[in-house]
Amino acid sequence: MNFFSLFATTALTFGIPSAHAQGLQPQAVQAEPAARPDHTPGVGQSLPLSNNSSNNVATDTHTTIAPTLPAASVGNDGTARAYLQEARDDLVATGRTGQAQQALEMAETRTLDRVIPPGEATGPSQSEMVGLISAARSALGNSDIAQTIRLIDQALKI
């Protein structure tokens, strides 16, 4: 008996009784949940959580799922300047890179809030403030805290 015949005979011998016992019903494969079972997407914090900055630049991106960062203490209605000051304070006083990243992202978003007439948007913002915040996020992603603080200071002077 060759190997293939032995394999087929073994598979049929052991496979058919289990298939018959299960009534030949396909079994659903249960995947790991993407989030905790009681979580509603878009409501509250989702997983994974992290206190460290990440996914700013290629060298600090280790997964396609960016972790949820701590919320900025300024709240959702702060000004760009308030978020920049919080990012600076987070880095200088406590070294909280995750909260600083969140504050920088919020500051950048607030800086991008502007009215552009249809047809006039030709590309990314050329704002000096946006450029400095983007550079600060990149410096943070490269773990260069001193440069991040210098860039935040420059942005605060505008």
Contacts for 47-51: CB closer than 8 Å, 24+ residues apart: 50/98, 51/96, 51/97, 51/98, 51/99
Asked if the model's pLDDT at residue 20 lies above 60, the reply is no
Encode pLDDT of 40-53 as tens digits.
655 665 555 555 55
pLDDT, residue 63, reads 59
DSSP 76-116: TT--HHHHHHHHHHIIIII--HHHHHHHHHHHHHHHH----
Encode pLDDT of 72-85 as tens digits.
788 888 999 999 99
Answering whether pTM is above 0.95, one says no
Q: How far is Cα 125 from Cα 34, in angstroms, rounded to an integer?
A: 34
Torsion of CA 66, 70, 71, 74, to 10 degrees: -130
pLDDT, residue 22, reads 46
The residues spanned by each domain of the chain are 70-115+125-156
Asked if the model's pLDDT at residue 110 lies above 70, the reply is yes
Mean residue pLDDT across the chain: 74
Within a 13 Å sphere around the CA of 84, how many CA atoms are in the beta-carbon half? Answer: 26
Lowest mean pLDDT among 12-16, 34-38, 68-72, 88-92: 12-16
Residue 13: helix, strand or coil by DSSP?
A: helix
Looking at the DSSP assignment, which residues form a beta bridge with residue 49?
Answer: 68
Measure the CA angle with vertex 29, ends 28 and 35; round to 5°: 120
Nearest to 78 by CA among 110, 43, 113, 104: 110
Looking at the DSSP assignment, which residues form a beta bridge with residue 68?
Answer: 49
